[in-house]
Structure 1
Amino acid sequence: MATGFYSHPDCLRHDNGQWHPECPARLQAIEDQLIASRIDSLIEREEAPLAEETDLARVHTQAHIDYIKSRTPEQGRSELDPDTSMCPESYRAALRAAGAAIAATDAVIEGRYDNAFCSVRPPGHHAEPARAMGFCLFNNVAIAARHALEVHGLQRVAIVDFDVHHGNGTEAAFSGDSRVLMCSFFQHPFYPFSGADNHASNMVNVPLPARTKGMQVREVVDMMWLPRLEEFKPQMIFVSAGFDAHREDDMANMGLVEDDYAWITAQIRAVARRHAQGRIVSCLEGGYNLSALGRSVVAHLRALAEI
């Protein structure tokens, strides 16, 4: 079996404006690096379907879903907050992003792929059940995790979030849910200024100072994430794969490089192999330096596919 790669042209049509770092060029940079690295032919491409409202409603309130639909402009852009906006194609792009995560979950659980990566936008991990924020409209990873639990009947899933920003939306969706273990590190204090004070037993949040480099992050993974994951024995692992902790990414101030993402991914894969039949679904979150993003995704994919 191979690694699935889910995306869709609709995800390129979500336009936040020329000034915005969360731009269509992010997905194009990933495509360029896939070709340059010569791994494009070693992954299996799939077109993301559209998520249904019932899929979104496993995480989000109906009021939130209706609000996002209502704010979709006929032309121009609609501002949801100073960071988050919508254009006429944004709602459909968001349905593709969530749909990719769901379809990848189905394919991996059914055994068609060992694991999968969703190259999609808008990202998702800041979207709370009743609020869009931080470039995110719907929480793709949370929706996929709930799908695995409630549609496929899994009893334990883990969510690993290595974006430089805390996944407040994912935490809001699952805090206190014993079926879900969330492991994350993030720069702190930093946007969205959350995560350091939640003591829910299923949250392994590790705030790190600016200028933290890869060796310190590897120690966090080894000492704090892996023992909890081993104890939890997840039946599937979901990854919020943000690459903005890279040292070349000026959206934040951490110091990871491609080898660190490959190492983290290899640790996740080893846990999945021991406890989850190898099942992993990873979804793109942040990463705004285009070159670093493309190279880091390739490193992540190489580790997922073991190539």
Structure 2
Amino acid sequence: FSTLLVLLTLAIEKQLPRRQFDVKDAFLYTPLKEILYIKTPEGSKRKAPFLRLKKSLYGLKQAPANWFEMLTSWLKEINYTKSASDPCLFSHQDGDSFVFFHVDDLIVAGKVDGFQEMFLSRFPNSSAHDPDTLLGMKLNQTADTVTLSQPKLIRKGLELKRNYLFLEILSRALNSKKQKNISLSSTEAELNALSDGAQESQWITYLIEELWKEKLDPAEFNIDNQGLLEKIKNFGSNSKTKHIDIKMKWLCELKNSDQINLKLIPSEEMVADALTKASNADSLKRLQAIFFLVLFSPT
């Protein structure tokens, strides 16, 4: 998901044409490496009770891997190189075209006409069109914007996500889930969230630097826990903190090596507090202004 958003941002910034490709019955293009037999389907004119399977039939556990290997091998044949950040992202050796795929759906940015000719020749049972739906999201695009929406999930009651990583003006990564471990304090809970965010930030930084060929400034993390900030600045292991020792030392290393910056946000500036705590009129107005909300009172 994050790779797709970064690629779309790159395409908008560089004004690259975008096109989507859908491969019908993609797995059936790939030959099987193993010797497998299936029962002859009822109604077949074949008299033999079994047939040798030559293609990666849907339902075989190796079918997705075979399709991935075939597609990536073909992309390499036409001078595309696999990204070091994401195995599903490829860039042309000239640096002017990019391909991102999820199973049998592909998004191409750059020289789409030349790619389309080669792709439809290699996979004739395919379609090419303007990007509309990928990874369960609806895409609406103009020359300088791409809007993503999830109408099906919204109808089911999509919950507001509360953890975001921003690049320019668009959210690049988001995550909302229960912690896998039990936290003994609010500081430890904030530590877990910061650690997860730092990991995601490191990967996205690597991806952006690979695509843009530019060195990024350290990622800035806004936190609202004074205790966590003090521990990262002056961490000393003791009996109460040794169970979080590795995470804390790793974050201290990132901070001391200028890979991340930490900024304490006062409670009065925390937008999310209006959603999680008792709110007054001022906090609701800030929330309204930042997220373009309309306050509604039922009659």
TM-score normalised over the length of structure 2: 0.23
Q: Which has the larger radius of gyration?
A: 2
